[in-house]
Chain A
Amino acid sequence: MSRIVVITSGKGGVGKTTTAASLAAGLARAGFKVAVVDFDVGLRNLDLVMGCERRVVFDFVNVINGDARLNQALIKDKRLGNLAILPASQTRDKEALTEAGVEQVIGELREQFDYIVCDSPAGIERGSHLAAYHADDAVVVTNPEVSSVRDSDRVLGLLASRTRRAERGDAPVQEHLLLTRYDPQRVKKGDMLSVEDVQDILAVSLLGVIPESEVVLNASNAGVPVILEESTDAGQAYDDAVARYLGEQRPHRFLQTERKGLLGRMFGG
């Protein structure tokens, strides 16, 4: 039985696509068959972050309209054989994703994949509704910053009321909080909301904390999911988050400022 997980946030620019790419790659690396689907019609970007932008031939809307078969539109990842990407359409027609069309494609994906990761667009409009509608699990990506936290709370409300599970009265969508762009130094100074602050407000179980890191930008520049940069802090933090998603207990790392020795302080190491 496959599981559908939506990556959502309300606010834009908090790291949804980065997270979708890394969660999908992490699950695939753990041996599962994974499809990651870009729901951001008109603003396709998952392909760039995954590094397969030049291999896009058909897209999500082509499949819905019957212009292509699902397997023609799915792009196999070059690094991980059991990972596939379904790119969003670049059409400007906001009605291009239909409820029936999404349901049909999700149904077909279920036949082939263990996990279907849905990368939601920002906002609470049609696209994000459709991305979340079929979800079993949700990863709410949040920055430790007021507008992001407020938007996440809105999105949590919608997950509890507007999804298929809510409408049918099934068990609720499993919600997970992923705090990104976390800067322990600024938290220590009192300039940034802490993990505990955000958890107090949102009251959702914490999947992970991704430290603010130049590695994330470098990885997206190169079209590599940051989780595959195994020696980096952000890569390891994503790896921890995926392990926790799969039920493993791992302590949270990267929450404290690095303790620098005297030499480190003197030489800025």
Chain B
Amino acid sequence: MGIVDFFRARRSHRRDSASVAKERLQIIVSHERAEQGGPDYLPMLRQELLEVVRRYVTVDPDAVRVDVERDDSHEVLELNITLPEQQDRA
């Protein structure tokens, strides 16, 4: 290891804690913004969707997942409905 590498390694090692902090913050903050920003109606939307789905299919209460993903320019409302393998018609 050359002397330059030695200092570089030392430096990158030292950089760690602040950049780890930044990375962790970016993830948790974007998560919390999604929950908070598309906020109040999401649980209701989920509940009503669940009721509609249940008119046709018997599903678990947690079979419907609603998420909001946010980019700089747009938001994506993601719906995930897990159907049971054998569909019992209601």
- Say how far A211's CB is from chain B's closest CB, in angstroms: 17
Q: How far is the CA of A187 from the CA of B19 in the complex (A)?
A: 10
Residue of A nearest to B18 (CB): A190
Q: Are the CB atoms of B28 and A187 closer together than 8 Å?
A: no
Task: Say yes or no for A164: interface residue by CB 8 A criterion.
Answer: no
Q: Are the CB atoms of A157 and B33 closer together than 8 Å?
A: yes
Task: Say yes or no for A167: interface residue by CB 8 A criterion.
Answer: no
Query: Which residue in B11, B15, B29, B39 is a CB contact (below 8 Å) of A150?
Result: B29
Q: Are the CB atoms of B24 and A190 closer together than 8 Å?
A: no
Q: Are the CB atoms of A190 and B36 closer together than 8 Å?
A: no
| A/B interface sample: 29 pairs, CB < 8 A | A146-B21, A146-B25, A149-B25, A149-B29, A150-B25, A150-B28, A150-B32, A153-B32, A153-B33, A157-B32, A157-B33, A157-B36, A157-B37, A161-B39, A187-B18, A190-B11, A190-B14, A190-B17, A190-B18, A191-B14, A192-B18, A193-B18, A193-B22, A197-B21, A197-B22, A201-B22, A201-B25, A201-B26, A201-B29
Q: How far is the CA of A190 from the CA of B28 in the complex (A)?
A: 21
Chain A contacts of B18 at CB under 8 A?
A: 187, 190-194, 197
- Say how far A210's CB is from chain B's closest CB, in angstroms: 19
Task: Say yes or no for B16: interface residue by CB 8 A criterion.
Answer: yes
Question: Could you mark each residue 13-42 of chain A with 1 if its beta carbon is under 8 Å from any beta carbon of chain B, else 0?
Answer: 000000000000000000000000000000
Q: How far is the CA of A159 from the CA of B18 in the complex (A)?
A: 27
Summarize B's interface: helix, strand, loop or mixed. Answer: helix
Residue of A nearest to B13 (CB): A190
Residues in chain B within 8 A of chain A (CB atoms) = 11, 14-19, 21-22, 24-26, 28-29, 32-33, 36-37, 39
Residues in chain A within 8 A of chain B (CB atoms) = 145-146, 149-150, 153-154, 157, 161, 187, 189-194, 197, 200-201
Query: Which residue in B15, B26, B29 is a CB contact (below 8 Å) of A190?
Result: B15
Chain B contacts of A150 at CB under 8 A?
A: 25, 28-29, 32
- Say how far B12's CB is from chain A's closest CB, in angstroms: 9
- Say how far B28's CB is from chain A's closest CB, in angstroms: 6
Chain A contacts of B25 at CB under 8 A?
A: 146, 149-150, 193, 201
Q: Which 5 A-B pairs have the closest CB atoms?
A: A190-B15, A190-B14, A197-B22, A157-B36, A153-B29
Residue of B nearest to A189 (CB): B14
Q: How far is the CA of A149 from the CA of B33 in the complex (A)?
A: 13
- Say how far B38's CB is from chain A's closest CB, in angstroms: 11
Chain A contacts of B17 at CB under 8 A?
A: 190-191
Residue of A nearest to B29 (CB): A153
- Say how far B41's CB is from chain A's closest CB, in angstroms: 13
Residue of B nearest to A158 (CB): B36
Q: How far is the CA of A66 from the CA of B66 in the complex (A)?
A: 50
- Say how far A161's CB is from chain B's closest CB, in angstroms: 8
Chain B contacts of A189 at CB under 8 A?
A: 14
Chain B contacts of A146 at CB under 8 A?
A: 21, 24-25
Query: Which residue in B21, B28, B37 is a CB contact (below 8 Å) of A193?
Result: B21
Q: Are the CB atoms of A200 and B22 closer together than 8 Å?
A: yes
Q: How far is the CA of A124 from the CA of B18 in the complex (A)?
A: 27
Chain B contacts of A153 at CB under 8 A?
A: 29, 32-33
Q: How far is the CA of A200 from the CA of B21 in the complex (A)?
A: 13
Chain A contacts of B16 at CB under 8 A?
A: 190
- Say how far A143's CB is from chain B's closest CB, in angstroms: 12
In this complex, the member of B26, B28, B29 whose beta carbon has the largest number of chain A beta carbons within 10 angstroms is B29
